[in-house]
């Protein structure tokens, strides 16, 4: 799609909105880094970190969109598609091209294409203090589904009680995990995302006669605690602490997108001295 947009001056530029199918992955990385360089949480992803992030979330370059102005990549919409569900991994506009309506143009083109290709739902997350992006998503018809908390956590030196913590593969606990969880993980932390980067997931578990009593899954490259859960009948017995303390080699962990509605999880984070960081809204819509 080619259209005209007003720039910050009186000059009118032509913008091409097109699929990112033929765009080099590293060009998308550079555009994303530049777009987030002045955000509340600046991003400067290495090629390795970008690769892990995109594999984890499931980048679909054909479904993704870029805005090109005078041969330059001005803005991006990086999208994942799983069956009939679609997810906005990241959207951003380079500072020199902002306030020209590029995000909306990308959104309209991308959502129409997703719907035309059979997608029936669309979701994303947005930082709580990013009111401009939040308002754009709401204007597109998205609604706020959940408030998601984030934390920074120092790995505890020792557990309240000692348990045998086993290092296991993520696939070996993936099917059992939902029965232990209090809330469904966000897109980037769910089973499909962890399956995609299983080689980068450190999964530790505690077992008893009934099976998995608790487990934790950490993404090694980013030091992110993607999932942790303990079976209902084994809670408040120190199993979660034992799981956390088993990651001594990482020293600290990031906790991303925990459901704010879970008072149990908030209390758990507080008990280990976790520091709240900037949270997000989870947004969803039907197509």
Is the pLDDT at 275 greater than 50? The verdict is yes
- Rounded to whole angstroms, the Cα distance separating 91 from 133 reads 9
Which of 63, 102, 55, 54 is closest to 81 using CA atoms?
Answer: 63
- What pLDDT is recorded for position 159? 54
For residue 13, pLDDT over 90 is answered with no
Average pLDDT for 136-152? 97
pLDDT of residue 43: 82
Mean pLDDT of 71-77: 96
CB count within 10 Å of CB 140 equals 15
C-alpha span between 15 and 70 (Å, rounded): 8
C-alpha distances (whole Å) from 262 to each of 184, 185, 257, 258 are: 11, 12, 12, 8
pLDDT for res 84:
98
The larger pLDDT score, comparing residue 40 to residue 287, is at 287
140 closest CA partner among 174, 165, 115: 115
Please return the burial class of 228, using the count of CB atoms within 10 Å of its CB with bins 0-12, 13-18 and 19+: buried
Contacts of 111 (CB under 8 A, 6+ apart): 122, 140, 287
The H-or-E segment that residue 257 falls in is strand 252-259
Calculate the dihedral angle through the C-alpha atoms of 150, 151, 155, 159, rounding to the nearest 10 degrees. Answer: -80
Look-up of token digits 């990651």: 247
Tell me the DSSP string of 29-50.
HHHHHHHTTTSSS-----HHHH
* φ, ψ at 203 (rounded to 5°): -115, 125
Comparing CA positions, the residue from 58, 56, 74, 90 lying closest to residue 17 is 74
Q: How many of the other CB atoms lie within 10 Å of CB of 51?
A: 18
This prediction's pTM = 0.91
CA atoms within 13 A on the CB side of 59: 23
Give the percent of the chain with pLDDT over 70. 93
Beta bridge partners of 277: 150
Confidence class of residue 10 from pLDDT cuts 50, 70 and 90?
A: very low
Percent of the chain with pLDDT over 90: 87
Summarize pLDDT for 167-191 with one digit per residue, the tens.
Answer: 999 999 999 999 999 999 999 999 9
- The predicted pLDDT at position 271 comes to 93
Structural domains of the chain, with CATH: 2-119 (3.40.630.30), 149-279 (3.40.630.30)
């Amino acid at each position: 799609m080619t259209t005209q947009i007003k720039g910050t001056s009186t000059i009118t530029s032509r913008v091409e909105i097109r699929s990112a199918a033929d765009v080099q992955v590293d060009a998308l990385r550079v555009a994303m880094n530049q777009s987030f360089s002045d955000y509340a949480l600046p991003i400067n992803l290495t090629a390795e970190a970008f690769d892990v992030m995109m594999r984890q979330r499931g980048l679909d370059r054909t479904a993704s969109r870029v805005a090109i102005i005078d041969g330059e990549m001005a803005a991006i919409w990086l999208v994942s598609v799983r069956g009939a569900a679609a997810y906005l991994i990241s959207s951003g506009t380079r500072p020199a091209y902002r306030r020209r309506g590029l995000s909306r143009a990308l959104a309209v083109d991308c959502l129409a294409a997703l719907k035309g290709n059979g997608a029936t739902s669309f979701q994303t997350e947005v930082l709580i203090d990013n009111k401009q992006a939040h308002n754009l998503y709401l204007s597109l018809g998205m609604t706020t589904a959940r408030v998601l908390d984030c934390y920074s956590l120092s790995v505890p030196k020792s557990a309240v009680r000692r348990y045998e913590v086993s290092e296991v593969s993520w696939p070996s606990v993936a099917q059992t995990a939902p029965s232990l969880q209090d809330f469904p993980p966000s897109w980037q932390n769910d089973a499909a995302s962890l399956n995609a980067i299983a080689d980068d997931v450190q999964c530790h578990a505690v077992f008893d006669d009934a099976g998995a009593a608790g487990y934790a899954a950490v993404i090694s490259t980013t030091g992110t605690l993607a999932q942790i859960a303990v079976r209902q009948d084994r809670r408040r017995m120190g199993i979660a602490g034992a799981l956390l303390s088993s990651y001594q080699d990482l020293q600290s962990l990031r906790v991303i997108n925990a459901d704010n509605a879970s008072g149990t999880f908030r209390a758990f984070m507080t008990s280990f001295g976790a520091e709240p960081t900037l949270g997000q809204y989870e947004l969803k819509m039907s197509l």
